[in-house]
Amino acid sequence: MKYTLSVLDVVPGEFRKVIDQHLGGACDIRYAVSYDRREQLDLAAAADFIWVGWPPVDAEMIGQAPKLKLIHKCGVGMDKIDLNAARVLGVKVCLTAGINAIPVSEMALLLMMAVMRHIVYANISFRSGKWVQTEIKGINQHLTGKTVGIVGMGNIGKNLVRLLKGFECRVLYYDVQRLSPEREAALGIAYCSLEELLRSSEVVSLHAPATPETAGMINAGTLAMMDRNAILINTARGELIDEGALVEALKNGMIAGAGLDVFATEPLAPDSPLRSLDNVILSPHVAGTTLNNMSARAMRIAKNLDAFINGGEIAPTDIVVP
């Protein structure tokens, strides 16, 4: 018997090949061609299994999917999946724990260096016929030796720590769940309050989940704690930042710059003032999306679906709703 797997994300052809390779044997795979609500509901209604990364899976969608047995997140964020509805209707929910640690931490590092070196501004200026060498010399900074504050010390945060070791950075971190002293020592990091982290860090990188407690944690008040030469990186969730407050901070020189891969509303509105600022680098929520990471995601999801179908064990770290 072949099960129906509905992929709710609009994925490019190369990604489809990877998914087909790992899951096509066990499943009839149906792919979204848009994020149109009706299409998304129809795909879910026909599904035994849902593969989802970016689109929401809400109570209406789950309630209209009579065959649905399992929702598998292609990533880790659960903020767009109605977990209560899944529990009530007996639908299992899984994620791919730790799967994005390497690409997202690499993207955070890339954004740090790109913002500090004003690389996008330099490239655009160069292509428009300008030679901004003198201007760039006066504002460029390098990463080595900086104090980096990491908000959220999960898998991504830990991998970022490993990458930063090569730059001899001092690393501070804040998390609601503090690591053991032994783990802190092994990673070479120091725990502090969020306020202390913001006041002491030259680079602040966000890696916290979107929850009611973290919503707007970077706001006018917390931005005012940061040094004027500091930069802010967000590859986690857009909801962590009050974007209006960030725009004002960037316009008024309260912080030096920002690198953003995620936004409170996605896609980012065409008239967003963030688009017009030279001291911010914008990326369309692609930090975890690389071709080689898609292969790792597909392999993990295929393994979990096989375990689900054949009565095997799924790793507890991948189970959200049993």
Catalytic residue among 72, 118, 207, 237: 237
Q: How far apart are CA 225 and CA 196, in angstroms?
A: 9
* Catalytic status, residue 285: yes
Catalytic residue among 37, 142, 183, 266: 266
* Catalytic status, residue 207: no
Q: Compute and round to an integer the Cα radius of gyration of the chain.
A: 21
Amino acid at 173: Y
Q: Which of 70, 148, 69 is nearest to 111 (CA)?
A: 148
* Catalytic status, residue 72: no
3-state SS of the chain is CCEEEEECCCCCHHHHHHHHHHHCCCEEEEECCCCCHHHHHHHHHCCCEEEECCCCECHHHHHCCCCCCEEEECCCCCCCECHHHHHHCCCEEECCCCCCHHHHHHHHHHHHHHHHCCHHHHHHHHHCCCCCHHHHHCCCCCCCCCEEEEECCCHHHHHHHHHHHHHCCEEEEECCCCCCHHHHHHHCEEECCHHHHHHHCCEEEECCCCCCCCCCCECHHHHHHCCCCCEEEECCCHHHECHHHHHHHHHCCCCCEEEECCCCCCCCCCCCHHHHCCCEEECCCCCCCCHHHHHHHHHHHHHHHHHHHHCCCCCHHHEEEC
Catalytic residue among 22, 72, 207, 285: 285
Catalytic residues: 237, 266, 285
